[in-house]
Amino acid sequence: MDPVPPTTAASSIPAISVVGSDLPAVPDLVSSNLPNREEPAADDPPAIRGDFPFQCPGELSPISEGVHLSRLAAFYNKCRNCPSRSDIVRLAPGLRVAWEQLLARRSPDSLFRIDGVRGRAHSDWTEREAAQLAAAYLAVLADVLVVHHEQTLTPRPSQPRIVLGYDTRAESPEFAIAIARMLRQHGAELIDLGWSTRPMVEQRLWTSGASGAVYVTGAGSAPAWTGADLLGPDGIVWSRGGVLDLVEQRFHSPLPRLVREAGPHHTESVPIGVRDHWARELHGLRPLKIRVHVSDPLQYELLLQIQPLISGLTISKSATSKGSPPAGELFDAVFEWGEDSRQCQVRDVLGGSVSEEALTFQLGTLLLDEHPHVDVVVPDELFQRWGRTVTRCGPGYLVFHQGGHSEEQLRRTMETLHAPLGLDGTGRYWIRRGGHVMCDALLTTAMTLQALSRTDAALLSWGVPPLEG
């Protein structure tokens, strides 16, 4: 008997001929119910007009319609600045109402403030936004450096060097890590100061010849907020109405990585040996009883270093010690430093605040020792309120100039005029010392003590000259 050949599963199934089949055609239910993608109707909603996928502002990877709608339903932060945000009409009624309330309550540009970036930590300011800000900063800085090195006739480095520091707020370190990682990924050489103050970061920017600086801080905002100050190669912070507007534009655009190797990372400790640095400013002071109130541990450490240079110095860091002095305890001068280590309020022996106008004339008198006249740059609002243009002061004159509405405008006006003095009306004074303009609460304190030491007069007697003409 001949062996039976093995039977396979395929051979046991009869072939079905499709061509010429008598079966009815199955209708194309998908294509018949969707609009023509090649020629979209003019009244099609944004979610189905044009080609998929969608793309979130500032992100490189596209997303599908489902992800787009789910992000809208989850109130994804970048949806607030997205042109496809109009698709909220496709959400459930409760979500649409919540979106309308959110948009009515907050501006889509809320991260970018007048003199920096601020936001609620882990809400509208997350590590993703911090990293995107770092990439946008480097993109703008590349264009700024071209102009800067042409004007200063200095060679442009092969890679930008960025000074990075952060304040003492609890959330700042993790955002600094996100910014540092992105700066290095985009090829920047990083000088990491860690926990520091804004004046320390600016000083390191000058001494290192770095290309710029980023200071992670929430100064001027509620405790739950943080953000960043962005500085250019000239040490001037970027503000709204200036270079910060360019950063905002790049922030909402895709920013691909243009280098393959990460930049080097140098960690430096905050300089502790500051006594010699400040000896010149604190030399020759008359005996005074001084109290300095600080709100930052680094400020306290700094004052401990220079305490031997100031006889009668008392340092306090208790919030209850601000304002009027305790009963039975009187000081010739009381200085209250702001969180940013730049703001400085001065009080007299009775606890009364010394006006900024009076302090401006005292600082101007000191600077007249080095200049034939002193140009003083103030914000437009303060210029109008004071009503001063040229005022006699000691052996010379103070000439007042309008400095705009932001710190960047004020500083650039100072550079144009080579002005020795500027102020913003909130206790911050920019003073030109050693070839650089510094805004430092310690420098304001030191120069106020120099002014007090010139005569035996008390702070209570400080006034302002009358308006001339």
pLDDT 10s digits, 296-313? 888 998 899 888 888 889
Q: Is residue 341 part of a domain?
A: yes
- Mean pLDDT in residue range 372-388: 95
Q: Are residues 365 and 252 in the same domain?
A: no
pLDDT band at residue 233 under the 50/70/90 scheme: very high
Q: Which of 104-118, 226-240, 385-399 has the highest mean pLDDT?
A: 226-240
Higher pLDDT, 464 or 335: 335
Looking at the structure, do residues 185 and 87 belong to the same domain, yes or no?
A: no
Measured distance CA(29)–CA(40) in Å, rounded = 19
- pLDDT(35) > 50: no
User: Which residue has better confidence, 258 or 238?
Assistant: 238
Q: Residue 271 has what pLDDT?
A: 60
Confidence of residue 174 (pLDDT cuts 50, 70, 90): very high
Per the structure, the count of domains in the chain is 3
Q: What is the mean pLDDT of residues 356-384?
A: 94
- Residue 3: pLDDT over 60: no
How much of the chain, in percent, has pLDDT values that exceed 90? 51
The answer to whether residue 32 scores a pLDDT higher than 70 is no
What is residue 62's predicted lDDT score, i.e. its pLDDT? 80
178-207 average pLDDT score = 94
Structural domain includes residue 372 = yes
* 247 domain residue, yes or no: yes
Query: What is the pLDDT averaged over residues 117-125?
Result: 91
Q: Is the pLDDT of residue 467 over 90?
A: no
Q: Which pLDDT score is estimated for 105?
A: 57
Is the pLDDT at 48 greater than 80? The verdict is: no
Shared domain check, 352 and 211:
no
Check whether residue 207 and residue 314 sit in a common domain: no
Least confident of 7-16, 227-236, 266-275: 7-16
pLDDT tens column, 403-438: 999 999 999 999 999 999 999 999 999 999 888 999
For residue 167, give Cα distances in angstroms to 54, 110, 301, 306, 350: 38, 21, 14, 21, 32
- Looking at residue 69, its pLDDT comes to 82
pLDDT at 228 over 60: yes
Question: Which pLDDT score, from 0 to 100, does residue 277 have?
Answer: 74
Give the model's pLDDT for residue 247: 95
71: exposed, middle or buried (Cβ count in 10 Å: 0-12, 13-18, 19+): middle
Arithmetic mean of pLDDT, 115-142: 93
Res. 322 pLDDT band, cuts 50 70 90:
low
CA 34 to chain centroid, in Å, comes to 47
Q: Which residue among 105, 130, 155 closes a domain? A: 105
Residue-level pLDDT at 166: 97
Do 452 and 413 share a domain, yes or no? yes
Q: Which of 230, 250, 267 is the last residue of a domain?
A: 267
Reported confidence tier of residue 273, pLDDT bands at 50, 70, 90 = low
Distance, in Å, from the CA atom of 297 to the CA atom of 347, rounded to the nearest integer, reads 22
Q: Are residues 309 and 223 both part of a single domain?
A: no
Q: What SS3 string covers the chain? A: CCCCCCCCCCCCCCCCCCCCCCCCCCCCHHHHHCCCCCCCCCCCCHHHCCCCCECCCCCCCCECHHHHHHHHHCCCHHHHHCHHHHHHHHCCHHHHHHHHHHHHHCCCCCCEECCEEEEEECCCECHHHHHHHHHHHHHHHHHHHHHHHHHHCCCCCCCCEEEEEECCCCCHHHHHHHHHHHHHHCCCEEEEEEECCHHHHHHHHHHHCCCEEEEECCCCCCCCEEEEEEECCCCCECCCCCHHHHHHHHHCCCCCCCCCCCCCEEECCCCCCCHHHHHCCCCCCCCCCEEEECCCHHHHHHHHHHHHHCCCEEEECCHHHCCCCCCCCCCCEEEEECCCCCCEEEECCCCCECCHHHHHHHHHHHHCCCCCCEEEEECHHHHHHHCCCEEEECCEEEEEEECCCCHHHHHHHHHHHCCCEEECCCCCEEEEECCEEECCHHHHHHHHHHHHHCCCCCHHHCCCCCCCC
In a domain, 232, yes or no: yes
Are residues 236 and 328 located together in one domain of the fold? Answer: no
Give the residue, 380 or 73, on which the prediction is more confident.
380
- 421: domain CATH number? 3.40.120.10
Residue 30 predicted with pLDDT over 50: no
Give yes or no for residue 49 having a pLDDT over 50: no
Whether residues 414 and 304 share a domain: the answer is yes
Domain membership flag for residue 32: no
Domain range enclosing 262 = 113-267
For the chain, the average pLDDT equals 83
Task: Say whether both 76 and 140 belong to one domain.
Answer: no
Query: What's the pLDDT score for residue 95?
Result: 80
pLDDT higher for 53 or 346? Answer: 346
In a domain, 37, yes or no: no
101 and 244 belong to one structural domain: no
2 versus 249: the higher-pLDDT residue is 249
**2 pLDDT more than 70:** no
Domain end marker among 77, 105, 133:
105
- Picking from 234, 242, 243, 141, the residue whose alpha carbon sits closest to that of residue 437 is 234
Same domain, 388 and 452: yes
Query: 117 and 244, same structural domain?
Result: yes
**350 falls within a domain:** yes
Q: Does residue 10 lie within any of the structural domains?
A: no
